[in-house]
Amino acid sequence: MSDEATEHTHGPWVDNHCHLELERGEDGAYAAMGRGPTGDSAHTTAVLEAARAAGVVAMVTVGTDEPSSRSGLELASRHPDVFATAGLHPHDATDGTEGVRRVVDEALERGAGPVAIGECGLDFHYDHSPRDVQREVFAEQIRLAHELDLPLVIHTREAWKDTFDVLDAEGAPARTVFHCFTGGPSDAEGCLERGALLSISGIVTFPSAQDIRDAVAVTPLDRLMVETDSPYLAPVPHRGRPNTPALVPLVGAELARVKGLEVAEVATATTTNARTFYRLDA
């Protein structure tokens, strides 16, 4: 990791949203890595080691479909500082939630269930699944979070009104987070009114992201978490390269700058928020 990446490594940090077993291949596309004899690929091992060296004490690897939810839970079973969610991304809503429910049930039977449901929600930017299907699959996963008393991890893109409408109809779980928050202050207020937390990604470091910085400025520190969404969305000055949890301190450092706080205070607060939200110490 470069000096730029380690400049703000005051820990501890929790990367509360990442995709640990993905790596970009020669064609530029991200894909799941093969596993070595220990169960982890060399890439995953290196990513975990770099994160720990950067002061990251816990990582939540996030499921987006049945295979990724299953592999995330398997990875978490091998590492005490890795936790996993199970969910169906709106891009894949046409797959239906049966597979994710199967993964969850199997994990609960082993006594090693997910720490949250998601990521799930609505994505009207790409519309890879029909919007009515996205809405129903989102609602089903909200119901599942209620049923299991688990947190809900929401993905929303260009769909704020519909996201709020579905959430209001089903009732926001007591522990709800809007991951990779990309709205402005009014969107943040809508999230906060529903009791949700905001998870801030490396986008907050982008010059064009003033709306996000304005939202961070008006959001109480006890309602904020930090994430990388790695291997996507590497923060400045690493933009355009694969992201890793080791870079989450740069996200926290930008939050500290925006809010006029010490980096160590942001690290402690966001780590406490994540541990409480996901019940990582339970």
Residue-wise pLDDT for 168-204, tens only, equals: 999 999 999 999 999 999 999 999 999 999 999 999 9
Domains of the chain with bracketed CATH: 10-278 (3.20.20.140)
Q: Which of 208, 145, 200, 203 is nearest to 174 (CA)?
A: 145
Q: How confident is the model at residue 32 (pLDDT cuts 50, 70, 90)?
A: confident
Q: Is the confidence at residue 5, as pLDDT, over 60?
A: no
Per-residue pLDDT, 26: 53
Strand partners, 117: 86, 152
- Could you report the per-residue pLDDT of 155-173, keeping only the tens digit for each? 999 999 999 999 999 999 9
State residue 12's pLDDT score. 97
Contact 64, 26 (CB under 8 A): no
Which residues, 6+ apart, have CB-to-CB distance to 193 below 8 Å?
A: none
Model confidence pLDDT, tens digit, residues 212-255: 999 999 999 999 999 999 999 999 999 999 999 999 999 999 99
Neighbours of 94 (CB within 10 A): 13
* 214 closest CA partner among 182, 191, 247, 251: 182
- Per-residue pLDDT of 67-122, as tens digits, reads 999 999 999 999 999 999 999 999 999 999 999 999 999 999 999 999 999 999 99
Give yes or no for residue 4 having a pLDDT over 50.
no
Residue 30 clears pLDDT 90, i.e. is over it: no
Whether the per-residue pLDDT at 29 is higher than 80: the answer is no
pLDDT for the residue numbered 281: 87
Q: Per the structure block, which two tokens stand in for 229?
A: 């969404």
- The full 3-state SS of the chain, as one line of letters, equals CCHHHHCCCCCCEEEEEECCCEEECCCCCEEECCCCCCCCCHHHHHHHHHHHHCCEEEEEECCCCHHHHHHHHHHHHHCCCEEECECCCHHHHHHCCHHHHHHHHHHHHCCCCCCCEEEEEEECCCCCCCHHHHHHHHHHHHHHHHHHCCCEEEEEECCHHHHHHHHHHHCCCCCEEECCCCCCHHHHHHHHHCCCEEEECHHHHCCCCHHHHHHHHHCCHHHEEECCCCCCCCCCCCCCCCCCHHHHHHHHHHHHHHHCCCHHHHHHHHHHHHHHHHCCCC
For 151-167, b where at least 16 C-beta lie within 10 A, e where not — what string?
Answer: bbbbbbbebbebbbebb
- pLDDT band at 22; cut points 50, 70, 90: confident
Residue whose structure tokens are 């541990």: 275
| Residue 3 pLDDT grade (very low, low, confident, very high; cuts 50, 70, 90) | very low
Cis peptide before 119 (omega within 30 of 0): yes
β-strand pairing of 82-84 with 117-123: unpaired
- What sign results for the dihedral spanned by CA atoms 127, 128, 129, 134? negative
